[in-house]
């Protein structure tokens, strides 16, 4: 149930819980606390945040629940992200949606996240998206300062291209430990554009957001979604696995890059089905059946 994102990186649960829609779950602090406890009991100890989630509210909702069980903090891993600036009453002074990866903003964002999450350290901080105006030396300075102060233990990026990943890596005295990317049976580009290859080169595990295609896997009407859904049902029927969730995650988990899916659900039945994927070992032929359905044609 646990994997290391990098040789000298953090140990995380094999599947992470994404909190982007935590506010939409309409849970009380007690309800959120119970979700955290249930997840940890099931072995899902890694919780993925970003400062902007829920219009800058989700970290605080989680932190309020976490504050009632401080002993649990050492058993979980908190991931958060920074760098996107939204126009919001909760972000006064922002006149246009933009990116800010300056040293001052990264440091300030971490302080805000620590306060909202009610913790004194973050396990893993990610730059949320590549900034076309980013100064990688400033990012490196911020990362070093945060590590030296003990406020952040490990660092990574999200949605970075291989070139952007290599550029930032070249400025750091320590390795980045992950690149969190969109990856699913419906989003296979990272397997072809060098993103996953770059992670493997650096011996780090990617994290995958939207591993169910943002739900499109279940209700999408595109030709791709229909093909993949049909193939998953055929394979599921043969393997006696009725859940598309289980098979879609098993497909990601099968890849030797050690991809860590981030599932964004607050429903325990969906979490249970996700856990079944850890016991589902797809054959290479079934993996390629799903790949072929996603591509819409045979491999060359």
Distance CA 291, CA 281 (A): 16
125: three-class secondary structure by DSSP? strand
Distance CA 244, CA 43 (A): 21
216 annotated active-site: no
Q: Where are the alpha helices (DSSP H) in the chain?
A: 29-41, 53-56, 58-66, 103-117, 136-149, 162-169, 189-192, 195-201, 216-219, 223-239, 244-254, 268-276, 284-295
Report the alpha-carbon angle 197-14-117, nearest 5. Answer: 105
Catalytic residue among 53, 121, 216, 219: 53
Instruction: Evaluate whether 246 touches 281 at the Cβ level (below 8 Å).
Output: no
Could you tell me if 110 and 143 are in contact, meaning their C-beta atoms sit under 8 angstroms apart?
no
Residues annotated as catalytic are 53
């Amino acid at each position: 149930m646990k994997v290391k994102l990098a040789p000298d990186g953090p140990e995380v649960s094999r599947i992470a819980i994404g909190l982007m829609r935590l506010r939409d779950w309409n849970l009380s602090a007690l309800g959120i606390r119970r979700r955290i406890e249930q997840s940890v009991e099931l072995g899902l100890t890694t919780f993925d945040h970003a400062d902007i989630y829920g219009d800058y509210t989700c970290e605080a909702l989680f932190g309020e629940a976490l504050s009632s069980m401080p002993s649990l903090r050492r058993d979980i891993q908190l991931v958060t992200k920074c760098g996107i600036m939204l126009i919001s009453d909760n972000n006064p002074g922002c006149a246009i949606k933009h990116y800010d990866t300056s040293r001052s903003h990264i440091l300030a964002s971490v302080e805000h996240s620590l306060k909202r999450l009610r913790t004194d350290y973050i396990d893993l901080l990610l730059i949320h998206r590549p900034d076309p105006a980013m100064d990688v030396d400033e990012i490196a300075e911020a990362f070093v300062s945060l590590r030296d102060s003990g406020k952040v233990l490990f660092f990574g990026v999200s949605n970075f291209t291989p070139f952007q990943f290599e550029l930032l890596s070249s400025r750091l005295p320590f390795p980045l430990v992950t690149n969190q990317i969109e990856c699913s049976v419906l989003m296979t580009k990272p397997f072809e554009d060098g993103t996953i290859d770059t992670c493997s080169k650096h011996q780090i595990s990617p994290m995958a957001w939207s591993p169910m295609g943002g739900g499109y896997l279940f209700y999408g009407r595109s030709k791709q979604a229909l093909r993949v859904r049909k193939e998953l049902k055929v394979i599921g029927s043969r393997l006696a696995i009725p859940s598309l969730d289980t098979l879609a995650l098993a497909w990601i988990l099968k890849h030797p890059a050690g991809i860590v899916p981030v599932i964004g659900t607050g429903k325990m039945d969906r979490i249970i089905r996700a856990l079944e994927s850890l016991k589902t070992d797809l054959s290479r032929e079934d993996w390629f059946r799903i790949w072929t359905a996603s591509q819409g044609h045979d491999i060359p």
